[in-house]
Amino acid sequence: MKYLLCFCLFAVLLASSTCQSKGCSSKKNTVVAADTVPKPAKINQYAFAYAVPHDVQVKAYFNFMDTFVQRFDSLVAYDLDPYLIAQTNHWLIDSFVETDYDHRKSRGEFVFDQKQLVVLRKGDTLFIPNDTFAAQIRAKQTKTWLDINIPEFRMRIVEGSDTLFSFPVRVGQNRRRHLDVIDRIEDLRTKTGTGEIVRVNRYPSWIDPVTRKKYKDTGRDDGQRTKLPQIPWLEPSLDGLFWGQMIHPTTNIGTLGKTFSNGCIGTSEADAWRVFFYAPVGTKVVVRNDRQIVRRTGDTIWLPEVYPREKYKLRK
């Protein structure tokens, strides 16, 4: 929604927990019904293979996966979690990427409610990694981090020094503005610093911080109105501070590459899903303001200043 401002400190109402720790189940006490136990996998890097018993829509995925993890955690020696399952089955991430409204629109398909789309189909196979493969995935996760450079309007998902994904983002506006939701004038510029993901909200609410209006649908760049997507929002801390500037999707890709938000870092819907699956709580985040960059050709260039002081505005 092109004019939905997203000051994210108060835009997200409640965080949804993920079953990342073993506080949700005990390996000793977990009982798995015989008819739900996955079959031993024939491929060396997998311990088990599980046939999905029914279609799973976007809106039901988190409940399905939480149940899946809780049910089968006792079958392996390590701590099973949804991120590990997704990284083992990369096609699952691709299924969510393909729910992107604009991806579907480019193929001539109009989607009114993305939450109704099926991301797991009956008979699909989910593999559970063996101990060795799980350890390899964990090692990669510990080296994965998010790099956001404001003058480039770009985010990168990086593993060590290797860029896995690079895509455009939008950042905060160069001004101060009164936000009714917190009843004060707020600096909307995206803050820089180094920190980590501290919260993942799997069921976010979209609220206009200027008017406090809660949105249930959105206007798209093509003039259509649709339901809002159910894509998790991520909250980072930076240098130990909580600015409330979330990492989340925008339903208007025309705003990418611009200073448009109330401080949040906005991505396309497809890229927001990638960020979610690659950046669980604890993932390192770097937000920087580096104007000098080196192109692939080796040329060094200077990018324009995104927040020039002479254009800093106060609007009530």
The count of C-alpha atoms lying within 13 angstroms of the C-alpha of 86, restricted to the half-sphere facing its C-beta, is: 23
- CA dihedral (92, 93, 98, 99) in degrees, to 10, reads 90
Give the chain's domains with CATH numbers.
8-15+143-315 (2.40.440.10), 34-139 (no CATH)
Is 101 exposed, middle or buried, given 0-12, 13-18 or 19+ CB atoms closer than 10 A?
buried
Structure tokens at 110: 């109009």
CA distance 279 to 293: 25
Residue 99 corresponds to which amino acid? T
Residues of the chain with pLDDT under 50: 1-26, 28-31, 314-316
**Smallest Cα–Cα separation from 258: which of 173, 191, 315?**
173
Answer whether 312's CB lies under 8 Å from 259's CB: no
- Exposed, middle or buried by CB within 10 Å (0-12, 13-18, 19+), for 309? exposed
Triad 60, 65, 70: Cα angle to 5°:
135
At 153 the pLDDT is 98
pLDDT at 212: 81
The pLDDT score that the predictor gives to residue 162 is 96
Model confidence, pTM: 0.87
Angle between the 90-97 and 269-278 helix axes, to the nearest 10 degrees? 150
